[in-house]
Each structure stands twice: as C-alpha cells, then as structure tokens.
Structure 1
Amino acid sequence: MRKWFAVLALVGLLGASSTLAQSCLASAKANGLTVGTSPDYPPFESLDKDNKIIGFDVDLINAIAGELGLKVSVIGQSFDGLIPALLSKKIDVIAAGLTITEERKKSVDFTRPYISGPNVIITRKETSGISKLEDLAGKKVAVQIGSAQEKIASGVKGAQVKSYNLYTDAALAVNTRQADALIVHRFVGRAFLKQYPDLKIVAELNQVDTGLALRKDCGDLRQAIDAAIEKLEQNGKMDELATKWFK
C-alpha cells in the first residue's frame, strides 16, 4: 500500500514541477507577451501625439506575435530599468533598439539581429573640429544612461560624458548647446536631424547589431521568435517595416 502511495506522491510532485516549470512560450500563449521599451528612441520607438507607443520595434513585435499567435502588451519605462524589469519577470521581452553587446550577453539572451548599422557622432552645424571619436576629448558628450553609446563615450579619455534618462533629452541638449556632441545609432540620428535641422552627422563609428532581449531561461521563446523573424525576413515583411520607418 505504501508503495502505491509513494508512486502517487511522485506523480503529484512531477505534475507540480511541470506546472511550475511551464515554458516561457507556453506561458506567453496562455497569458500574452509583455514587452518593455523606452519610447524615446525614434524611429525604433517613440510616442505619438496621443501618447501611444509607436515605431519599428512595436510593428516588429506585433508582426512576430501574429506569426506565433500571441497577444501583446507593450509598456514604456526608463531605458536603464529595462534589463532589471526583464530579469525580475515584470516583462517577457525587451524591444528597445537594444545593441547586442558581450557585456549584456552575460545577463540576457538575444534573438538573431534584426537591424545592423553604425553608431554616429552628431554635432551642431556650427561646430567644427570633430570628425572622429578621439576628437570628443574635452567635449561634452550627450548619451542615454545605460546605453551602449554611454560606454563608448566613457571610453574616450578626457570626454565629459553627460548621461540623460531619455535620448530625446540628449539630442535636445546638443541642439540647445548644453552639450557639444551626441553618440547614437545612425537610424536614430537621422530621426533627430529631421527634428533639429541645425544638427549634422560628422562621423560614423562602429557597426552594431540590434536584437530583442529575453531571459536566459526562455530558450524556447527565443527560438520561436528567431523563427518568426526569419520568416518575416523571407516573406518581405521586414523590408516593408524597414522602408516604413528607416527610409
């Protein structure tokens, strides 16, 4: 009799363990996908006149969700809080024009890259003498807190790094002469140039890859998203989104 009780107890434990260890993909299918972003990085993500989050990343994650049959909720917050929110399971995915770096790979997993391009240096049109990274020595360089560009600026000996919560504030600082230069992804830089005609791109820097970030224990969800991205690349949808937001 005790043997049967032991078997039943083991089955019960296995069932409980299976419930607790529900895969990230199964959880997303059951509860929807919560996506975190920082809507101050056009054209990847920004706020429209109605304070609705829009941008390439929003369209991309919705297209991915369509392929996987998932409901999506996109929430905005500060950029430097995105990875902590992911690790504490407040969100399932980061879609924020996130540069794939070796440092970030230590704490999160990335999908396959969906955008590649260089970082650039932006100054006011009246500014001279800046044509490469080393020329930022002695200059006030605007970046966003926690960004890959902040790390680049911090590596320039003598640069005065000014970090802002929002990249839109960093761009405004250059436009209003509170900073001398801005380091940002080229696609984002082009968006800021449309907003501030007195700014210009003076140098292209390193090529970077951009991806979505997930927790390391969500390999099944990452694989599903990777497959969806690949399909969007093959069926032309990715090109449509790139044309819409980046051209």
Structure 2
Amino acid sequence: MKTTRLTLALGLSLLAANASAQGCMTAIKASGLNIGTSPDYPPYESLDTSNKVVGFDIDLMNAIGKQMGVKVNVIGQSFDGLIPALLAKKIDMIAAGMTITEERKKSVNFSLPYFSGQNVIVVRKENSATKTLAALGGKSIAVQIGSAQEKLAQGVKGGNVKSYNLYTDAALAVQTRQADSMIVARPVALQFLKTYPDLTITGMLNKIDTGLAIRKDCTDVQNRVNAAIIQIRKSGEMDTLVAKWFK
C-alpha cells in the first residue's frame, strides 16, 4: 500500500510539474511573450530618440518570437528588479545582456548562450595605467546594482564599489570623475566610449556568456527558445544581428 501511494504521489507530482510547464506556453500564446529588460545597456538595449527600446536583445527577441509564433512585448524596468519580476510572473523572460552565473542558476534557468565576450576596465585616459583588478584597490569602481560586474568589483581588495541603478549613470560617473573606474562588458564599453571620448578601455578581464533568463517551471519555453536560437544561428540571422549591433 505504501509503495502504491508513493508511486501515485510521484505520478501526480510529475503531472503537476508538466501541467505547469505546458501552462507557460499556453499563456504566452494567448497574451504574447512578455520580455523584461533594462534599457540602459547599449548595444544590448537602450532608448532611441523617441524613447523606444531598441538594441540587439530586442531584435533577437523579435526573431525568437517569430520562430515561436508569438508576439513579443517589451517591458522596461530597473536591472536589479528583473529576476524578482520574473519569479513573481510579472514577465516571462529576461533579455537584458544578462551574464550567466552559477548564483543566478539557483533561481532561474538560462537559454543557450547567445553572445560571449569579456568584462573590461574603463577609466579616464589620464588613468590608463590601471589595467588589472588588483590595480583597482584603493580606487572607486562604478557598476550597476545587481549586475555580475558588481559581484566582481566587490571581490577587489581595497576597492570602493559605487553601485548605480543604471549603467549609463555609472559611465557618466567615470566621465565626471565621480568614480575612478568602471567594470562592464566590452561591447557596452565600446558604446560608452563613443559617447565619452575621454574614456578608454585599459584591462581585459574574465570571459562571460550572455543568456535569456526563464523561470524554472517553464522548461517548455526554455526548449522552444533554445530551438529558436539554434535556427536563427543556422539561418545566418544571428550573424546579421551581431554585425548590426556589435561591429
């Protein structure tokens, strides 16, 4: 009897889990794929002159939505609130140039990596001798709240971490000498250098993979997104988007 009850309980648990996962796609097909992003991280996402969210992530998500046969709705908010919003089911996915980390994997699933790169150190040109993490000891380091770069900066011995809601504010802080340096992904750094020519990249740091964050109970969505990414790569569309936004 105990074995029968245990088997029944396990069966019901699996059915419930499967129903939950299937329910994710059912809801998305009905109302669209709600994407959370923080539009202060060019070229991944930013606001254009008409305050429309644009960028690599947005184009990629529209391509993924087309592959999945669903409408994509973009919802902008602060970066540090994205994972809480995902877990609270206010959004279906995060597309925000988010670094895949082991810590984040504890609470969310990630798609296949869709872009790989490196973190870099950005300083004003007169401080170009600052080329390593160790050299940031005793200096202020601008980063975004809740970012993987914030965690990296917090590990610098003697570093003074200055966390900002927006990476655009972090870059401005370095430009205006309110911070000595900034740690950020290289493609984003290159965009900020176009805005602030007084800044320069001095050090190449750790390699990072970027992915789309999805709730753990939505494995069907994760599978559909991964299949779409693979198809977008095979078709050459991914290369086209990379060339548009990163070169």
* TM-score of the two chains, using structure 2 as the length reference: 0.91
2:27 partner letter: S
Deviations 1:171-230 (A, max 9, x none): 000000000000000000000001100100000000000000000000000000000000
Equivalent in the alignment of 1:148: 148
Structure 1, unaligned runs of 5 or more: 1-15
* TM-score of the two chains, using structure 1 as the length reference: 0.91
Give percent identity, aligned residues only.
65
Q: Measured at CA, do residues 227 and 158 of structure 1 come closer, stay the same or move farther in structure 2, by a change above 3 Å?
A: same
Q: Measured at CA, do residues 190 and 17 of structure 1 come closer, stay the same or move farther in structure 2, by a change above 3 Å?
A: closer
Equivalent in the alignment of 2:180: 180
Equivalent in the alignment of 1:74: 74
Equivalent in the alignment of 1:5: none
Map 1:109-188; keep pairs closer than 5 Å: 109-188=109-188
Q: Work out whether residues 21 and 218 of structure 2, in 8 Å CA contact, stay in contact via their aligned partners in 1.
A: no
Q: Work out whether residues 137 and 158 of structure 2, in 8 Å CA contact, stay in contact via their aligned partners in 1.
A: yes
Equivalent in the alignment of 1:205: 205
Q: Distance in 2 between matches of 1:197 and 1:177?
A: 14
Equivalent in the alignment of 1:36: 36
Structure 2, unaligned runs of 5 or more: 1-15
Q: After the TM superposition, which parts of structure 1 deviate over 6 Å for at least 4 consecutive aligned residues?
A: 16-21
2:184 partner letter: V
Q: What displacement does 1:128 show?
A: 3.9
Q: Distance in 2 between matches of 1:18 and 1:202?
A: 49
Equivalent in the alignment of 1:6: none
Q: What displacement does 1:19 show?
A: 7.7
Deviations 1:80-110 (A, max 9, x none): 0000000000000000000000000000000
Q: What displacement does 1:23 show?
A: 2.4
Equivalent in the alignment of 2:233: 233
Q: 3-state DSSP class of the match of 2:51?
A: coil
Q: Work out whether residues 48 and 54 of structure 2, in 8 Å CA contact, stay in contact via their aligned partners in 1.
A: yes
Q: Measured at CA, do residues 21 and 201 of structure 1 come closer, stay the same or move farther in structure 2, by a change above 3 Å?
A: closer
2:61 is the alignment partner of 1:54: no
Q: 3-state DSSP class of the match of 2:177?
A: coil
Q: Work out whether residues 122 and 182 of structure 2, in 8 Å CA contact, stay in contact via their aligned partners in 1.
A: yes
The alignment covers a number of residue pairs equal to 232
2:143 partner letter: V
| Rg comparison, structure with higher value | 1
